[in-house]
Amino acid sequence: MKFRVGIGYDSHRFAEGDGVILGGVKIPSDKSLVGHSDADAVCHAITDAILGGSGLGDIGEMFPDNDEVNRGRDSLEMLRLAVVRVREAGWTPVQVDLSVIAEEPKIGRHRDRIRAKLAGALGLEPSAVMVKGKTNEKMGWIGKGKGLAVIAVCTLEALET
C-alpha cells in the first residue's frame, strides 16, 4: 500500500457576529469568523491537508478568494469537492487529526457533531476524525481573542486501480 500525509493550516480573525462555523457546525457566539467564504477554518485546513498530501495544490488554487463564486461559499461543500478531486487523482483520505487553537469558542461540547459532519464530507467513520481544542494560554493574537487557527493532518491511501 502507498500512503501520503498532508498538513493543513488556516486562521481567521473574529468580528462581531452570530456564531462561529467550525467543521460545518455553527457554534453559538457573539462573534463570527471573517473570510471570503463562510470562513470555516476547520474545513479549510483539512482541504489544504488532503489537496497537499495528494499533490494537488491548495485550497487557494481550487477555490480562489478573488472568484465571486466562492463568496460566502459553504466550506463543507468545498471539502467535499476537494475529496472528489483527490479520489479522481487516485487517493483517498483514511484519517484526519486536527487541533483548533482558540481561547473561545470552546469546542468540547460540539466535538461529536463536528466529527460527524467532517466524516460525512470525507467518506470516513467518525472514529477516523479527531478534533481537539487547544488554547494559546492567552499569548499572541489568538490568546487575546482576536481570532483562531487550525492545524490539520490527513493520512491518504492510494486507491487500488
Q: Which grid cell is 98?
A: 486536527
Residue pair 78/114 in contact by the 8 Å Cβ criterion: no
Residue pair 49/153 in contact by the 8 Å Cβ criterion: yes
Report the pLDDT value the prediction gives residue 48, as an integer from 0 to 100: 98
Strand partners, 124: none
pTM: 0.96
Fold assignment, 3-158: 60s Ribosomal Protein L30; Chain: A; (3.30.1330)
Q: Which grid cell is 34?
A: 471573517
Report the pLDDT value the prediction gives residue 101, as an integer from 0 to 100: 98
Report the pLDDT value the prediction gives residue 68, as an integer from 0 to 100: 85
Q: Which residue type does 93 have? A: P
Report the pLDDT value the prediction gives residue 46, as an integer from 0 to 100: 98
pLDDT digits (tens, 9 = 90+) for 108-122: 999 999 999 999 999
pLDDT digits (tens, 9 = 90+) for 32-85: 999 999 999 999 999 999 999 999 999 999 998 888 887 878 999 999 999 999
Domain ranges of the chain: 3-158
Report the pLDDT value the prediction gives residue 70, as an integer from 0 to 100: 74
pLDDT at residue 97 is higher than 90: yes
Mean predicted confidence (pLDDT) in 120-127? 98
Q: From 90, 77, 119, select the one nearest 4 (Cα to Cα).
A: 90
